[in-house]
Amino acid sequence: MLEFLTGAGLAVSAGLNAYIPLLALGLAGRFLDVVTLPAGWVWLENPWVLGILGALLVIELVADKIPIVDSFNDWLQTIVRPTAGGLAFGSGSTASTVAVADPASFFANNQWVPIALGALIALIVHLTKATARPVINVATVGVATPVVSAAEDVGSVAVSVLAILMPILIIAVIVLAAWAVWWVIRRRQRRNGRPRDGSAVSNRT
């Protein structure tokens, strides 16, 4: 169960920011004793990989805080974030952490399952973010864009840390993420169902 929660938390984090959970895993595996990555994922600890992830993270942090550019960036990230979610779930759920001592017992077979599941979770979170952001931009004339983006970055870091150190708390994160998806869907349905000015036709006879 903890293996699933660790992977799910990292996938949720990747849906908000593709590079934070991968960078967190790589740095923790290389410099800290709290994470031991399995043999198939030690490449995340490579200095070149960490450097590339760091550079991509800086670009993402800047682009996501500029109105209009953030929506274009979300469009580009439609492939990147689910891919990162799959990698994060696959590496995180099979890594030994302070909370997970025997990760091999969860995904002993069908190693593609955690990758596919992580990609799906990250995609759902990403689509929710990409759908909500234009609405926020229009409603606040772009003023709230950097604030919302910064909050998402902080959330991505916090969820990554919780997934590694206290995965049981990811249950609350999953519930909150499910509520956010529901809220965005409901709001979009209401906007689509609202008649445009001048479009209403009187049915009086």
**Global confidence as pTM:** 0.81
What pLDDT does 114 receive? Answer: 79
What pLDDT does 105 receive? Answer: 55
Cα(164)–Cα(103) distance, integer angstroms: 12
- Tell me how crowded residue 196 is: count the other CB atoms within 10 A of its CB: 6
Domain ranges of the chain: 2-190
Collect the ranges in the chain with pLDDT lower than 70. Answer: 1, 98-111, 188, 191, 193-205
Answer yes or no: are the C-beta atoms of 160 and 169 closer than 8 Å: no
What pLDDT does 18 receive? Answer: 94
What pLDDT does 98 receive? Answer: 55
What pLDDT does 107 receive? Answer: 55
* 199: Cβ contacts below 8 Å, ≥ 6 apart: none
Task: Give the side-chain half-sphere CA count within 13 A for 131.
Answer: 17
Answer yes or no: are the C-beta atoms of 78 and 72 closer than 8 Å: no
What pLDDT does 167 receive? Answer: 80
What pLDDT does 186 receive? Answer: 78
pLDDT, tens only, 37-96: 888 889 999 999 999 999 999 999 999 999 889 989 999 999 999 999 999 988 887 777
